[in-house]
Amino acid sequence: MVKPALCRLVGLALLLTALLADATTAIFYQPQLRDREVAQAQWPSAFAQVRARGFDTLVVQWTQYGDAFGDPAGHAWLLQRVREAHAAGLRIVLGLDSDPAFFQRQEASPVALDTYLRTLSRRNAEAARRWVDDLGSAAIVGWYLPLEIDDRRWRDPAVRRQLLDYLAAERRQLDGIAQRPVYVTSFFAGNMTPTRYAELLTDVQRSGVRAWVQDGAGTGRLGRGERELYLGAASQCAGSHAHGIVHEIFRQIGEDSAFTAVALSAAEADAALAQRAPCGGDSVFFELRYLPGMATVLQR
């Protein structure tokens, strides 16, 4: 009678060990044009500092933002930064093409939305091929789709189906370029119940794209108790909801239309950076310029 129970415990322990081994501790880097003013000699040591803090992965939020970094000089600059991060021992999850008007464009009619998503897909394919050619696929451990899935627009089943079809198509397309995990982030603002939001995340995961959930601590749209309800629903170990949590290590002080934020105090930052996603999920932090010690390198 003891052996089956013991076998189950051993099996669970092995499963947990495998999950934890597969989990990543990552930090986002959101490239800004003003970052090009930083002395080139500072970047290798900055990335070495990130690695020394225990991060194993750098998530480059985008490789093109509108027209930014799409020109030859901008692309070459960002390519060099990514190479330096990789040389510092950081794995690279590479973001693709980001549209600054995404949140406005996602409100389009179903027909126009379908056309728009096809445009995003085409631009992402162009970006992925360019970076595989220039960086090499061996340096890329994952792809990041630089759109954020909210809990309002995608409540309608028909519109959600368009989103899920798009995500599944992106995964298949990127598999054909370099087969790597594909990630996307999502956030909640009280527009769905926690249970319904968890169902949205399950749908995203079923598309083959891994969902990271922003914890909302920095933006402060919801109080701590409300946020815990959503994060708890999104992080059920027995379900297929969130693949990881994005811990926000900043405090927003401006409106969303003109995002402005400040870094946390040293004690707050230490507490925030000690967080880990439940159930062996990915622990992701946003963003590099708010990391203690980076104020002398990157402007906020």
Dump the DSSP string for 30-45: ---GGGGGS-TTHHHH
DSSP summary character for residue 249: -
pLDDT given at position 14: 34
Amino acid (one-letter) located at 140: I
pLDDT given at position 278: 94
- Strand 182-186 with 140-149, pairing: parallel
pLDDT given at position 256: 67
11's CB contacts (< 8 A; 6+ apart) are none
pLDDT given at position 23: 87
DSSP H or E stretch at residue 251: strand 250-252
Distances, alpha carbon 79 to alpha carbons 84, 179, 287, in Å: 9, 20, 19
Residue spans of the chain under pLDDT 70: 1-21, 256-258
Q: Is the pTM of this model over 0.85?
A: yes
Tell me if residue 186 falls in helix, strand or coil: strand
CATH tag for 23-290 (out of 3.20.20.80, 3.30.565.10, 3.30.110.30, 3.40.190.10): 3.20.20.80
- Boundaries of every domain in the chain: 23-290
Kindly tell me the burial class for residue 140, based on how many C-beta atoms sit within 10 Å of its own C-beta (0-12, 13-18, 19 or more).
Answer: buried
